[in-house]
Amino acid sequence: MAKGKNQKFKLYRLAQIMLEKTDEDHFLTMAEIKEELARYEITAERKSLYNDLRDLEVLGIEVAGEPCGGGYRYHVVERPFEIPELKLLVDVIQSSKFITARKSNQLIAKLEKLASKYEASALQRQVFVAGRIKTMNETIYYNVDTIHGAIAKNRKIHFQYYQWNVKKEMELRHGGAYYHISPWGLSWDAENYYLVGYDSDAEQIKHYRVDKMLKITLSEEAREGKEFFQKLDMAAYAKKSFGMYGGKEEAVKLLVKNDLAGVIIDRFGKDVMMVPADEARFTVKVDVQVSGQFLGWIFALGDGVEILGPPSVRARMNQEILRLADRYKGEEMEENDRI
């Protein structure tokens, strides 16, 4: 049999064919494998293909054969990712607000290549999420990589930071001046990615939304603030902060209705100690950074949660209640005004 002109790519193409066209439910016979190789101008004898299929194991691709009629049919039996795992990754990418729609589609297309063409169609049905708000900052994908690189190299970073104005325009903060921050970690909170770093000028830990950071560059300066982060538990830090808004850290005691136990566990974890107060309520003490967002979280839970202490936090909640009452006091609105 005359050899095809692309014989040197034989094993590569065989791996590509088996990964793309076979899975647990789809198989290729030896004749079909030869036919697929011929599309790439590669010839193969049956005996050599047996050896080639065994050689694929060296590449981490396990192929099994099973009887079919008077012969055998073959398929890939194990892949780096199972379909449920790939679906989970697709859902995470699609629901991640910090990844742009375009980058989401690119990443999902790459994940599809880890499945057979038949399984990839199942991933495609997972892609559409109606009304999902995605970031418009394409550079975040690379910002994260740059930040990780700075952490690995123990270097500070420079960047500009922006906010949206009422004209829906990006507006640089601090007049466009660059921030000089020592990056120590990344945190995920409320669908956003945050850089957690040390501001040497302010001598404190600060955090910044990564999708609002522009023109990140590595500094020649070594990071500072090591003494702060050596004693900082990043997971605990994120748990104490509501919406990554800072505030004075306090041990706050709450009185909570029993039916909100799940809300407390979801927010603070199963390690919190919930002490029965009566048949319908329990108390719990949690470490939080007291901010407007924390108070708003308490407001949202209505009469299901009450702050018992410390007095300073109760006083702050009372001030917020009075401020809101003053804002909304007045004559009752007419029905048309409400609409």
Give the span between the Cα atoms of 216 and 265, in whole angstroms: 37
CATH number at residue 64: 1.10.10.10
Supply the mean pLDDT for the chain. Answer: 84
Q: Total domain count for the chain?
A: 4
Peptide bond preceding 183 in cis form (omega within 30 of 0)? no
Between residues 163 and 97, which one has the greater pLDDT?
163
Whether 132 is covered by a domain: the verdict is no
Tell me the pLDDT band of 131, cut-offs 50, 70 and 90. Answer: very low
Tokens representing 247? 């505030």
Do 153 and 216 reside in the same domain of the chain? yes
User: In this structure, are residues 52 and 10 in contact, taking their beta carbons and an 8 Å threshold?
Assistant: yes
270 and 310 inside one domain: yes
Cβ of 194: how many Cβ atoms within 10 Å?
A: 23
3-state secondary structure of 119: helix
Q: What is the mean pLDDT of residues 79-98?
A: 82
- Same domain? For 100 and 87 the reply is yes
Of residues 265 and 98, more confidence is placed in: 265
Q: Structure tokens of 92?
A: 């995470």
Q: Is the dihedral of CA 151, 155, 159, 163 positive or negative?
A: positive
The single-letter DSSP state of residue 28 is E
Same domain, 264 and 296: yes
The stretch 186-202 carries a mean pLDDT of: 82
| 334 domain residue, yes or no | no
Length of the chain in terms of residues written: 339
Distance CA 330, CA 339 (A): 17
Q: pLDDT value at position 127?
A: 45
Task: Name the pLDDT band for 329 (thresholds 50, 70, 90).
Answer: confident
Q: Which amino acid is at 35?
A: E
> Mean pLDDT: which of 98-112, 139-153, 309-323 is highest?
309-323
Structural domain span for residue 257: 248-327
Mean pLDDT of 315-333: 83
Give the position of tokens 């209640």. Answer: 321
- How far apart CA 76 and CA 18 sit, in angstroms, is 6
Identify the helix (H) or strand (E) that includes residue 187. strand 179-189
What integer pLDDT is reported at residue 126 of this predicted model? 45
List, as one string, the DSSP characters of 188-239.
EETTEEEEEEEETTTTEEEEEEGGGEEEEEEEEEEP--HHHHHT--HHHHHH
296 assigned to some structural domain: yes
Alpha carbon distance 96, 93 (integer Å): 5
In this structure, the answer to whether residues 120 and 156 fall within a common structural domain is no
30-57 pLDDT tens trace: 999 999 999 999 998 888 999 999 999 8
200 phi/psi in degrees, rounded to 5 = -65, -35
Residue 145 is predicted with a pLDDT of 86
Residues 280-296 pLDDT 10s: 999 999 988 888 888 98
3-state SS assignment for residue 5: coil
Residue 176 lies in a domain: yes
Q: How confident is the model at residue 106 (pLDDT cuts 50, 70, 90)?
A: confident
pLDDT surpasses 90 at 300: no
What is d(CA 236, CA 322) in angstroms, rounded to the nearest whole number? 32
Q: Are 12 and 31 members of one domain?
A: yes
Of the residues 70, 98, 124, the one at which a domain ends: 124
Same domain, 41 and 118: no
Q: Is residue 130 part of a domain?
A: no
pLDDT of 132 above 60: no
Residue 15 · residue 68 · CB < 8 Å: no
Name the residue among 120, 70, 127 with its Cα closest to residue 93: 127
Write the CB contacts of 264 (distance below 8 Å, at least 6 apart in sequence).
254, 256, 272, 274, 284, 286
CA distance 279 to 152: 52
Shared domain for 184 and 212, answered yes or no, is yes
